[in-house]
Structure 1
């Protein structure tokens, strides 16, 4: 395992290695530098003269007349400077260079456990955040490809190495990230604790059902997160609240039966009269006096044709068209997760990944969001994961014994593409559950697009802020304001000279007057300037960052790149998905074609007795 500073490489070096590797130093650069040194200037001249003088005085001719240390000292003084010039490429390759020359604060005092985020460029000291301050969360901002994911990988590697858990939600679906995280786990002997949720490639994914566990209100809240905010529209809010009532009622009924359900099952139940009639008949027969049976009957009664209309052949039956008008939007979202590639991952009654159990057991979970190819579906999937995560946080708050002993790390890369307003509350609650958050975005607009209040809450609830090269002027100015200002003394000196000459042209006698004057002034004034200017933040090198810690400490950092040796990579091999064995659980299984045929209108007439009992 290697820690190497991220540096700029030549085109030849990039071709030889992958985008995540740093080429070793080429010793031939020193040889070329010696021939292309180009000596000149007073310092180089003095060094050459000193070296020549030392060589001359070492001659036997001067033996006895010159102390022995004089030629040695002269040669040493001259050769030191020249050697520094020749070896400068070697120094620049390994030295922690800074593009902004900002002096770092003293390294923070840390306890026995924490995570290193980088090395201070001026002192070379490792900057470590202890666990207590990790709980106050970390916010990372920077352009794509300048070090955000590298910084996250560094912290995740240390987290895996010390036995902690990781939730990595990747908003850009980079399969190299999956492989890297798997290699970290394999290297640390924790491959059996590594899980992948990848709806873009079900063959490289574990199964996951985020609506299977939790009480009906919690499950409904996760599903309602798929619907945009409706606070500003009374009409839209009516449909959202109607969807909430339907979900809570039907999920309660499903859980009462003891049968497992998935997205496809809920989509069928919200869209098919026969399936609802069968569910009601099951509850009435098995649990006639239960709250779930009573609530389901009352709910379905709102969607039935009037039973006292003798002219209506559908009297007493469920009006499917009315249900579709009210619940059609939710049905469409559920159907997306129940079919195709999403269905292969999420249509399960025995999921490999249970997020609460994963956090409790310090597991490593990678969540891939195919935001480019499936923008809407991937964003909704991310919201479902975050909804499940919120439930897990609430359960951990209530069960102290289940909280992870090592702080659980949640790294949200490109977070602006899938979070919503409710996510900001997690920052206030996660600490008490033993979890710390690390969102990474490219600009502050990624969060402001959700709402100004949301962006303010995220900024205000992150004690550690790590800035890489920023491409937006507005974000750079905001970051510079957050880092703060300090007093500096501006000195100025002015000098003036004047001369004058005059002569009376009307007088015959010659006469003239001359005068001259000169003056100097010196002034000092104090003024506030940014500790790190917006222009400096926009000019940071790749792998270089500025960290604001606890609102007052500033560090100019170089982030080391963690890499596995080629020999170890070959030994680890390709990714192997860990498939735990769970007991078999019976579910509604509406995706079974034979079972689904019973509910299709093309195979049976839609009949019922009007009291909730199916007659087909």
Structure 2
């Protein structure tokens, strides 16, 4: 039966027992007569005492190593080739299953009598300052022993990773194990949350690298731009023999990017209007204008679809600013469908006639008015034409006010180099590769999506949401194919800085795409970022409620931390209490003038397995993971290899590191060696 108190923070009292046993062993071998033992018995005594000393030494070493690691954690760097997970599992890092023992141990480290474990004395500070000073001189090799984590080094370096290393150290009394997530659990989607500069993107690298090696379709959204992430994805694709499947879409590097039409692929034409109107304000009075803009874009999209013309942002902007020309083209198309032979001649006669245009057509093109008149005279029945005519007949000045919020959005999406990237059909001479999610999934592709959100967040959000809507449409098509017996491919979607991307289009993707083989892993900083994005806590709850596995790095917001802590049960921990007292005697006839007593007793109490404040104390690169109802404490590996990139991609990565310096630093400075030596 184990003791209720482990006492892992006690002094190493085994020292005296080890010394005594070693002394007895020496006497048993060298001078057994001192112990009045014959020689043979002396050797036996020496062997027994030596074994006992070894056992005590092992126990003391384990205790000292545990106490050392409460302050200084061992480093954790691996080469990506050494990423090994069992079949059907996803490797996340090294760690342990957190239970009541660890809550007890961590509570013990917070008690005031054990504060000396984290105290840095004057001697330690002086030695470390000397070592750091010598590290820039030719005497640096001599300082190697003092820069190591060797147990006999009394002055080990402590890295600047912030946080409380005790949160991981309490599990190092036993051995760490690989923490893995069953691949079958990933269809429930994964939520990775942590404040900036704590390792979310590095975890993305670990997971995406394994997805690439597994032959899965991998789609990575990177709104802000991380050069190291792009380099890692390409390196792993090349290492897996899949470099030919790798594509880059980046709004900030249009020359190196593939082209993509966010509204060119759809199952139903109404999706075009939803993808565009979804980016418009939807609060208060803006909701009515948004609905009108949706109807307007939907009419344009239906007309273009019937005409067989490309649908993209550039064409939609041209049509919305010159709807008269669209009316002329479409009504002529309707006449051809009805096999009306003299349409052009009658139209020319009506335009040249002296007939006056009605007042409601003031400011409109005369040819467009004549087309509408001919359409009505001949009694053609076409619902799409009727909707287009109603839009055309609307008072132009009032109409422009109703769609005032639509024009700025379309102009942003069709300005500068981005125009050719997002409306490739408008530039037939542009021969760059076109991105199609259906083709990507069919051929098992790998796609990096850089949205340049730091330069233009509105365009980044619009394109990102349109991509999510496009993926949802593709997922619906794949699900229908699967119902008919077609094989499904696993599609791993990683959305970094998820709060920059999330919109209403994401909810159906999270709800229903699992049946089409989609596995979503989203990364964000706080729950409030998602709430603010929707301006609706209930809708934000819909998003988070669809994310089954939670991996939480350091977070500072209490509401975010409680996403994890409120799902954990309470546990019982023990406290060793010292009671002492004395009682005076008032009886003059007795020889006992006072009595005293001292005793120890163990009390217990129920506490949460983890407090919200503990999440704010996590070191950089460390996380808690709630997997299938079980809580794991893990630390993330750092990759130790260098990326090998082709010249064009290398230049792009270097430009990203330069142009997005704060984003790059945010994702890597926790892993940069300090003068004291980096430790995870």
TM-score > 0.5 by shorter chain: yes
**1:255 maps to which residue?**
305
Matched, 1:66 2:42: yes
| Deviation digits for residues 9-42 of structure 1 (CA, Å, limit 9, x no counterpart) | xxxxxxxxxxxxxxxxxxxxxxxxxxxxxxx975
The separation in 1 between residues aligned to 2:618 and 2:251, in whole angstroms, is 36
Instruction: Report the alpha carbon displacement of residue 185 of structure 1 after superposing the two structures with TM.
Output: 0.6
Q: Give the aligned partner of residue 475 of structure 2.
A: 393
Q: Which residue in 2 is equivalent to 1:226?
A: 279
Q: 1:245 to 1:332 in 2, by over 3 A?
A: same
1:527, CA displacement in angstroms? 4.2
Instruction: Classify 1:117/1:422 alpha carbon distance in 2 versus 1 (closer, same or farther; 3 Å).
Output: same
Whether the 8 Å CA contact 2:235–2:644 is kept in 1: the answer is: no
1:99-118 equivalent positions in 2, closer than 5 A = 112-118=87-93
The offset of 1:416, in angstroms, is: 1.1
Corresponding position of 2:203 = 151
Q: Distance in 2 between matches of 1:520 and 1:57?
A: 41
| Residues 1:310 and 1:288: Cα distance change in structure 2 (over 3 Å) | same
Residue 424 of structure 1 deviates from its aligned partner by 2.6
The more displaced of 348-357 and 133-142 is 348-357
- With over 3 angstroms needed to count, the CA separation of the structure-2 counterparts of 1:526 and 1:448, relative to structure 1, is farther
Query: Where does residue 558 of structure 2 map in the other structure?
Result: 473
Query: Structure 1: any 5+ residue segments left out of the alignment?
Result: 1-39, 98-109, 294-305, 504-510, 578-616
Deviations 1:110-164 (A, max 9, x none): 9942312222244433232223211111111112222222222111111110100
Contact 1:270 1:323 in 2 (8 A): no
Residues of 2 paired with 1:571 and 1:332: CA distance?
Answer: 38
1:561 pairs with 2:561:
no
User: 1:431 corresponds to which residue?
Assistant: 514
- Indicate conservation of the 8 Å contact 1:308/1:315, yes or no: no
CA distance in 1, matches of 2:361, 2:634: 80
Distance in 2 between residues matched to 1:437 and 1:132, nearest whole Å: 13
Distance 2:230 2:598 in 1: 68
Change (3 A) 1:311 1:211: closer
Secondary structure of the 2:610 match is coil
User: Paired residue for 2:649?
Assistant: 575
CA distance in structure 2 between the aligned counterparts of 1:185 and 1:245, rounded to whole angstroms: 43
Contact 1:51 1:76 in 2 (8 A): no
- Equivalent residues in 2 for 1:75-90 (5 A)? none
> Residue in 1 aligned with 2:570?
485
Aligned CA distance change for structure 1 residues 155 and 392 (closer, same or farther; 3 Å): same
SS of residue paired to 2:315: helix
Correspondence for 1:589: none
Partner in structure 1 of residue 458 of structure 2: 376
Q: Secondary structure at 1:66's aligned position in 2?
A: helix
Deviations 1:368-408 (A, max 9, x none): 12222212222222222222222222222222169774431
Question: 1:188: Cα distance to partner?
Answer: 0.7
Instruction: Give the distance between the partners of 2:647 and 2:361, measured in 1 at CA.
Output: 71
> Paired residue for 2:665?
none
Q: Is the 8 A contact 1:409 1:437 kept in 2?
A: yes
Post-superposition CA distance 1:206-225 (Å, at most 9, x none): 11001112132011111111
Contact 2:324 2:364 in 1 (8 A): no
Would you say the 8 A contact 1:359–1:404 is kept in 2?
Answer: no
Distance change >3 Å, CA 326–CA 85, structure 1 → 2: closer
Q: CA contact under 8 A between 2:223 and 2:496: conserved in structure 1?
A: yes
The 5 Å alignment of 1:263-278 reads 263-278=313-328
User: Equivalent residue for 2:94?
Assistant: 119
**TM-superposition CA deviations, 1:187-214 (whole Å, max 9, x none):** 1111111111110111231110011121
Tell me how far apart the structure 1 counterparts of residues 600 and 512 of structure 2 sit (CA, whole Å): 56
Please tell me whether the aligned partners of residues 55 and 75 of structure 1 are also in contact (alpha carbons under 8 angstroms).
no
Q: Show the counterpart of 1:344.
A: 420
Which residue is 1:175 aligned to?
227
Residue number in structure 1 paired with 2:497: 414
CA–CA distance in structure 2, aligned partners of residues 112 and 50 of structure 1: 49
Task: State the Cα distance separating 1:276 from its structure 2 match.
Answer: 2.0
* Closer, same or farther: CA 116–186 of 1 in aligned 2, 3 Å: same
- Rounded to whole Å, the distance in 2 between the matches of 1:571 and 1:54 is 63
Q: In the TM superposition, what whole-angstrom CA distance separates every residue of 1:511-563 from its partner, at most 9, and x where no partner exists?
A: 9999656678988776431112223221112222111122x311111222345
Aligned residues of 1:172 and 1:371 also touching (Cα < 8 A): yes
Q: Is contact 2:465-2:505 (8 Å) kept?
A: no
Change in Cα spacing, 1:403 to 1:343, as seen in structure 2 (3 Å) is farther
**In 2: Cα distance, 1:402 partner to 1:262 partner:** 34
For 1:436 and 1:198, locate their aligned partners in 2 and report how far apart those are by CA, in whole Å: 23
2:335 & 2:639 partners in 1: Cα distance? Answer: 61
- Name 1:20's counterpart in structure 2: none
Deviates more, 1:317-326 or 1:118-127: 317-326
Contact 1:47 1:81 in 2 (8 A): no
Aligned mates of 1:444, 1:467 — CA distance in 2: 12
CA contact (8 A) 1:51 1:77 kept: no
- Name 1:296's counterpart in structure 2: none
Separation (CA, whole Å) in 1 of partners of 2:513 and 2:591: 86
SS of 1:145 mapped into structure 2? coil
Q: Quick check: 1:272–1:320 contact (8 Å CA) kept in 2? A: no
Number of aligned residues: 501
CA 1:74–1:498 in 2, change beyond 3 Å: closer, same or farther?
Answer: closer
Question: What does 1:36-55 align with in structure 2 at a 5 Å threshold?
Answer: 43-44=14-15, 47=18
Structure 1 residues 116, 315: CA separation in 2 closer, same or farther (over 3 Å shift)?
closer
Q: In the TM superposition, what is the alpha-carbon distance from 1:466 to its structure 2 partner?
A: 0.8
Of stretches 449-458 and 82-91 in structure 1, the one that deviates more from structure 2 is 82-91
Match of 2:334 among 275, 278, 284: 284
Q: CA separation in 2, counterparts of 1:462 and 1:78?
A: 48
Structure 1 pair 412/75, CA: closer, same or farther in 2 (3 Å)?
same
Residue of structure 2 aligned with 1:539, choices 608, 613, 617? 617
Judged with a 3 Å threshold, the aligned counterparts in structure 2 of structure 1 residues 403 and 125 are, in CA distance, closer, same or farther, namely: farther
Distance 1:52 1:381, change over 3 A: farther
Where does residue 443 of structure 1 map in the other structure? 526
In 2 relative to 1, CA 85–356 (structure 1 residues): closer, same or farther, beyond 3 Å? same
Check 1:165–1:403 CA distance in 2 against 1; reply closer, same or farther (3 A cut).
Answer: farther
Q: CA RMSD in A?
A: 4.2
Say which is worse superposed, 212-221 or 50-59, in terms of deviation: 50-59
